[in-house]
Structure 1
Amino acid sequence: MPTLRIEHAIVDFALWRRAFDTFAEARDKAGVLRHRVMRPVDDEHYVAIDLDFPTAQAAEAFERFLRTTVWSDPQRAPALDGTPSTRIFETADD
């Protein structure tokens, strides 16, 4: 199962979470099967998000949507601090 991994610094987790939650419908429409939000134990200003997709193409399309529509607009990504790092992974062993 392809997973889009996103990592980035944030200015405030509560603000970030509210923005993340506003895109629940967009994630559903894009085919996200499951998501996980993770935070480092030693950095409250950083998040990692895993978004599972049915295909790599769906993950790539959603990554493009995030880059062009969400992250490029400070009103849609108010807690974003810097440029997100992304990679698409395929499960090798479970």
Structure 2
Amino acid sequence: MIRGSYARWHASLPPWMPMARAVADFAPAPTIGELSVASALGYLDLRFEEIAWRRGQAALAAWFDSFAARPSMQSTAPTLCPTSHQQEMDHEPG
């Protein structure tokens, strides 16, 4: 089977490849552990503010604030819609 030109490997790199490599070298991908901890802490901030996990955890809070400022974290940060939260509260058993 002969592939069309769109599916063939070209020996030359696309013009954007050096830029992509430079970005990857500058901002290494977070580890699964970092993502897990950041996700958990972000969830605590979003849903369980009364826990106040930051109190007495200055180093962890500083790390989280720095990590949460990453563009990837900012673009995927959850928000709590007041309407949906109220609907959840209305449907809680009890």
Which interval holds the TM-score relative to the shorter structure?
Answer: under 0.3
TM-score of the pair, normalised by structure 1: 0.27
Question: Whose radius of gyration is greater, 1 or 2?
Answer: 2
Q: TM-score, normalised by structure 2?
A: 0.27
